[in-house]
Structure 1
């Protein structure tokens, strides 16, 4: 009986993104921000609470957030309401505001025993690193969103950068203001970053009556 040669079957590889959400990371909604903040306050971890609050207010990229020094935020034992830092990506300055709640958290953290002799705001627990890494920050974000029941693949460190910017745009429609706050050199970058669509632009235009 002749042997039948069957076609070779190549095993299917599991899709790298199976079960995950790909694309731009979502910003947090205000109720989600407060849900995470409430959990961090209950945990009484000043370092992590300060990191979360500063991340929301500053709208900084993760690489710039983790490198913030105490001197960037605190002058003469007082937390600044407005802060200016040089962005590592663009080498250009960007300004941001710190709300009263964030300033109180930062001051409490800076005065705590855990900050003794530390020059960076978010020092690393590892002796060979002066501050937390962006990877550590990413793991924290994963834990935060998971703790309130969100799908972690849809969120990441850019989510915290986008959160306040998206809310400002939603309430004002002012792309130029958001551009300045994010430190973008071109408004086109802000449009892409926020995912602004034609429908959004038309909705804003409809509210303007000349």
Structure 2
């Protein structure tokens, strides 16, 4: 079963945690304060299996990239994408999104001969 938590409530709860406990998904092991990358991937795979699609088509990275792509398509603002991705260089964000390729395809589709 899934539980929907309103974002304002989640933000309030998260921001009031002590700094040492400031992890949304804490680890149950004492030696690590948060879930590892592999455990996050396992949890996501389990959720996707429950929903029905092929888990091979989904990953934590594909979710990150999809969100970045949607933000760029909606805003066309590279800086708005760069900040949540934590890229130090705007050029990294451009490469990550593959913007040159997307723009070339868009221009090509709009050009009639």
- TM-score, structure 2 length as denominator? 0.66
Q: Is the aligned partner of 1:120 residue 2:25?
A: no
More strand by share: 1
**8 Å CA contact retained: 2:14, 2:22:** no
Q: Distance in 1 between matches of 2:64 and 2:39?
A: 16
Change (3 A) 1:177 1:142: same
Q: Distance in 2 between matches of 1:180 and 1:126?
A: 31
Quick one: which of 183, 188, 201 aligns to 2:103?
201
* Corresponding residue for residue 71 of structure 1: none
Larger Rg: 1
More helix by share: 2
Q: Distance in 2 between matches of 1:145 and 1:103?
A: 25
When the two chains are superposed, the root-mean-square deviation of aligned CA atoms in Å is 3.2
Q: Distance in 1 between matches of 2:90 and 2:81?
A: 9
Q: Is the aligned partner of 1:152 residue 2:55?
A: yes
Quick one: which of 96, 101, 105 aligns to 2:10?
105
Q: Distance in 2 between matches of 1:128 and 1:179?
A: 32
State the structure with bigger RCO (CA 8 A, min sep 6), 1 or 2.
1
**8 Å CA contact retained: 2:27, 2:35:** yes
Structure 1 gap ranges (5+): 1-38, 43-48, 50-100
Change (3 A) 1:186 1:130: closer
Structure 2 gap ranges (5+): none
Provide, for residues 10-48 of structure 1, a one-character-per-residue CA deviation record: whole Å limited to 9, x for no partner.
xxxxxxxxxxxxxxxxxxxxxxxxxxxxx5227xxxxxx
* Corresponding residue for residue 90 of structure 2: 187
Query: Which contiguous aligned blocks of 4+ residues in structure 1 show a shift greater than 3 angstroms?
Result: 106-111
**8 Å CA contact retained: 1:120, 1:131:** no
Q: Is the aligned partner of 1:143 residue 2:105?
A: no
